[in-house]
Amino acid sequence: MSTFLAYTPPAAGHVYPLAPGLLELQRRGHRVHVRTSPSLAEQLRAAGLTAEPVDPRIIAALGRPGDEPETMTDLLARGSYEMTDLADAISTIRPDVVLADTNTYGANTAAEASGLPWMTTLPSLLPMPGKGIPPYGLGLAPMPGPVGAVRDKVLWKLVEKVYGRRMLPGLDRLRADARLASLSSPLDYFRRADRLLVLTGPPLEYPRPNLPGHVRMVGGQLWDPPAPTPEWLLEDGDPWVLVTCSTHYQADEALAVAAVQALRDEPVRILVTLADAYDATTLPEAKNLRVERFIAHAPVLAHSAAVVCPSGMGIVQKSIAAGVPIVAVPYGRDQPEVARRVVESGAGVLLPKKRLDADRLREAVRQAISMRSQVKAATAALDAAGAADRFADAAEELAPALR
């Protein structure tokens, strides 16, 4: 059997999707080690995985809850710590295969420099061009035909140029420190690993008949840390509408405020989870409101009529799996693209952040609730049941004992 070392950023949205596949690898007899934040390592240990915290300097670089949202510059700036940290973990654990999350730029650099079999894990949509694939990050709908092909070609070049300015200087500094050649395009970052493990698939991914040979699209990996179902969730009453802020802070408190204003007189109960914005946000009063910092999504979704969220990949895939329609209000990162895929898959509606107010959000929630039967097609396409096996199968392709 083989030893796998998984290295993640200290962000629940990047750690939780790894858990099903890593647990399946362990069930198959492999040794699995994880490096992540102290609190997330504790949750993974409770689930049965071996997990230890990353270098404390990485945690210190995150700032405090309520600070400005993290940027690409911030992610790259802590890359030198990740390089050293992963190299130390490799020396201690002596893994056969390394898995490095896409947002750990230093860890991916160190993994490549190590010479070990190596996978980049991507808990989001594949940011690579292909026939009929709109340019990543702009949230554009597919446009078939010659006009669409020209639009996509032009805008993909623009996206590549913009991301190149943001990513390449910092990436190339890390690569120079590791004695690796510089990259000519930001897309090359997703071509370096032996495997690019994409933790999503239909219905959110567009069809790709010519998927690059090193890419494995293994489907949505749905996991919550073990926790009891709260008694208040099971009390009789109106259906819940789950309103989530990002688990990795991005100043989206206005979404929670607008949701309370929109829904306090509707025949629903409002559950707002504020995550890192919990201590920095004052919400309007409402008799049908409950506020939590975090709560496992699965039991809430079983009692929810709709979800209002910034369209992070984790909550989107869990909502689709549960057949719960989504109101997507994207703020940044990959969220505009994910929100577009929510609409294209029939899983919900999109409300742009610049148009967010109580009246529009109330109407969007009503529209989403009316789509409940329509969401079933997206749920059927998600095929979450076999995702952990597909993850483990892809990881085992690099295991020396199985090659």
Is the separation of the CB atoms in 182 and 172 below 8 Å?
yes
Question: What residues does each domain of the chain span?
Answer: 3-219+385-402, 231-382
* Burial category of 25 from C-beta neighbours within 10 Å (exposed 0-12, middle 13-18, buried 19 and up): buried
Burial, 66: exposed, middle or buried (Cβ in 10 Å; 0-12, 13-18, 19+)?
middle
Task: Please name which of 276, 279, 316 lies closest in space to residue 297, comparing C-alpha atoms.
Answer: 316
Cα separation of 199 and 18, whole Å? 8
At 403 the pLDDT is 61
Name the residue with tokens 């035909």.
145
DSSP three-state, residue 277: helix
Diameter over CA atoms, the chain = 62
Task: Return d(Cα 312, Cα 334) in angstroms, integer.
Answer: 8
According to the model, what pLDDT value does residue 62 have? 67
Q: Does domain 231-382 have CATH number 1.10.1740.10?
A: no
pLDDT for the residue 384: 80
The pLDDT score that the predictor gives to residue 214 is: 96
Provide the pLDDT for residue 76.
Answer: 85
Domain 3-219+385-402 shares a fold with domain 231-382: yes
Q: What is the pLDDT of residue 69?
A: 53
Across the 403 residues of the chain, what is the mean pLDDT of every consecutive 10-residue run?
Answer: 94 94 97 96 96 91 56 81 96 97 96 97 95 93 95 95 92 95 95 96 92 94 89 93 84 90 96 78 90 90 95 94 96 91 96 96 97 92 90 94 66
**In terms of CATH architecture, what is 3-219+385-402?**
3-Layer(aba) Sandwich (3.40)
pLDDT at 11: 87
Distance in angstroms (rounded) separating the CA atoms of residues 101 and 156: 24
DSSP assignments along 348-360, one per residue? EEE--GGG--HHH
**Burial label, 335 (beta-carbon count in 10 A; 0-12, 13-18, 19+):** buried
